[in-house]
Amino acid sequence: MNTKRNRWLLAALGLVALFYFGDMGYRKLYEEPLQAQHRLETQLTKQLKTAKQNLARAKSITDQLTMLEKRSLPANPEMARSRYQAWLLQLVGNAQLTGTSVDAGDPVAVTYTARRLKKPLVLYRRITFTVHGRGDLTQITRFLYDFYAAGHLHKIRSLSLNPIGNGQMVDMNASIEAISMPTAERDTELSTTAADQLAFADIRPYQLIAQRNLFGRGGAHWAWQQIALTAVTKNVAGIGEAWFTVGGNSQTQIVPAGQTLTGPVDLTVVQLDGRDAIVDVDGQRFRLGVGHSLAEASRENKK
């Protein structure tokens, strides 16, 4: 009886051992490797995501660097200074500024230093320029428009405009900084890349700045007082013409219907009506009579 009982106890003990060591083997041989595999997959997935993010960030930086290299001044610092100075002289010439000067400073290297580098790495060279010129606001606007329309790696760090006399003329002093990158794709020539930072592709919307005559007496009203209609006639071809005096020197301009007056205000002659001229200023129409200045014109409704 005891022998039979012992055999049952040994059998039960064997089953317990079988279940115990079987469960241990199951955990060691299946569950734990599977969990380790899941942890490895999770880790690799995170690493892959991080790698993709780093790759995208590196591509973005590479694209930005490529764009900067396209806009950079020539890689040769002396050629960069010379070419850009000549370009600034061309700008003030196109704007017809007077008393102009363009001075260039020496290129200053901006470097990166690390232990693994035998010598500092030149990231870029900064070159400063000063521009001086005198002109009216129309000419200053032309200079600034041409400057910002160009895609060079440059910026105006400071700009001062000092009115002269009645405010029609101003003295301009500009401090400009331009960048030359040693990795630029051009060694001697300036970039031909156009800028995309201007809101308008045409200069005409910006000429409103000049029309306001910010430094004049009474602003735009003073500018309007400088334009007066003196006569309305017809030429030999029978085409109506409006005669205007512009400015204190009473310079006369003859403007046919449909043409635009050259002066401190962007004025277009729409039509002539007897001794009156219907003119368009900034998209608004006015009736201007002979012997009166633009400041005295009355608003005319468009038909």
Q: Which domain CATH number covers 255? A: 2.30.30.830
Q: Which residues contact 102 (CB under 8 A, 6 or more apart)?
A: 85, 88, 89, 92, 129, 130, 131, 132
Whole-model pTM over 0.85: no
Same domain? For 53 and 172 the reply is no
**Domain boundary at 70, 96, 130, which?**
70
Show the low-confidence residues of the chain (pLDDT under 70). Answer: 1-2, 4-32, 34, 36, 40, 44, 48, 50-56, 58-63, 165-168, 210-223, 248-250, 263-264, 301-303
Same domain? For 18 and 110 the reply is no
Domain interval for residue 290: 220-300
- What pLDDT score was predicted for residue 86? 96
pLDDT digits (tens, 9 = 90+) for 55-94: 667 566 666 777 888 899 999 999 999 999 999 999 999 9
Instruction: Name the residue among 208, 228, 229, 206 with its Cα closest to residue 220.
Output: 208
Same domain? For 197 and 165 the reply is yes
- What pLDDT score was predicted for residue 215? 59
Beta bridge partners of 243: 231, 254
| Structural domain count, the chain | 3
**Domain boundary at 212, 247, 270, which?**
212
First-residue to last-residue Cα distance in the chain: 126
Cα(145)–Cα(157) distance, rounded to whole angstroms? 16
- What pLDDT score was predicted for residue 174? 95
Same domain? For 93 and 50 the reply is no
Same domain? For 63 and 83 the reply is no
Same domain? For 233 and 165 the reply is no
